Amino acid sequence: MKMIMLGKTELRVSAMSLGCLYFGARDSREESFKRLDQYLGYGGNFLDTANMYSHWISDATRGGESESLLGEWLKARGCRSRVVIASKVGFPYPGVPYGTSAKRIKEECDKSLKRMGTDYIDLYFAHSDDRGTPMEESLGAFNELIKEGKVRNIGASNFKAWRLERAARISRQNGWAEYCCIQQRYSYLRPKAGWDFGVQVAANDDLLEYVTDTGMGLMAYSPLLYGAYTDPKKAFQEQYLGPDSDARLGVLSEVAAEIGATKNQVVYAWLMRGTPAAIPLVASTTDSQFGEAMGSLSIDLTADQMKRL
């Protein structure tokens, strides 16, 4: 698998990140281990999780299942040094309220480290932009974790561009670590103006220009829009319906036919080759879906195809 440098950091990560959202919750231990082994076999090294994954699956899940499963797998395979782990703090789960206060950040980091059986997290995200906590408090806490060696780099998720710029200014003024990566809802189709995804924030032109100008890393979650590109039983969300999407879907079908690929594979390839280039999160339910995702790594879209798309 192609390896790239994450933003301006020294982290060398794979071009596609494995989303571990359902591991240990919806996906059994056996299924989760299988997917992790497959991903590692393809040369992947970038694992994405969060402290609250996936408390909503059933009455028995309470959060922390994904990190705990990763901890079991890391211990069984003895491969901690081979992988880059990203985790997150901020969204609530049973017993833990919303927010990125200094206390919450530090407490949740320690819990995540314990669950995963590791003494450091490579990339630790603020999972949400907590407007109720001063940025100085959150960034100061993240910086302390870096100084203590518990965290190597920090990132932001579901932030708007102007908030990223404000955070960068605060970090520079205080000599603190800056957010090196943004993880955002991002796909080939563009949501309509005035869109609302609740707690999720989609990448818009301002965000993409900011990432390009600053050299931040960019990770794309929900890149396939829950399978709607290829599964006729799944409809695109209302936020994506309209003439712009109709035109883009037409070209997507044309390019997929030209190169003998699926529309999902073209979406993945477009994200990885775009400006700015994005690291898509792959969260596959079946072996065929995972194989389809890995197949996109060999697709080389031409300049003309990228322009048309």
Helices (H), 29-134: 29-41, 65-77, 102-116
Phi, psi of 201 (to 5 degrees): -120, 125
By DSSP bridging, strand 179-185 and strand 46-48 are: unpaired
Give residue 265's pLDDT. 99
Nearest to 270 by CA among 247, 244, 303, 246: 303
pLDDT tens for 225-254 read 999 999 999 999 999 999 999 999 999 999
Residues lower than pLDDT 50 in the chain? none
How far is it, in rounded angstroms, from Cα 219 to Cα 184?
Answer: 6
- Return the structure tokens found at 188: 């080939």
Strand partners, 179: 154
Q: What is the largest CA-CA distance in the chain?
A: 54
Give residue 194's pLDDT. 84
Give residue 280's pLDDT. 99
With a threshold of 0.85, does the pTM exceed it?
A: yes
Helices (H), 61-150: 65-77, 102-116, 135-147
User: Tokens 């969204």 sit at which residue?
Assistant: 91
Give residue 147's pLDDT. 99
Give residue 193's pLDDT. 85
Q: Exposed, middle or buried: residue 153 (CB in 10 Å: 0-12, 13-18, 19+)? A: buried
Domain ranges within the chain, ordered by starting residue: 3-308
For 3-308, the fitting CATH number among 3.40.190.100, 3.20.20.100, 3.40.1390.30, 3.60.110.10 is 3.20.20.100
Other Cβ atoms less than 10 A from the Cβ of 98: the count is 17
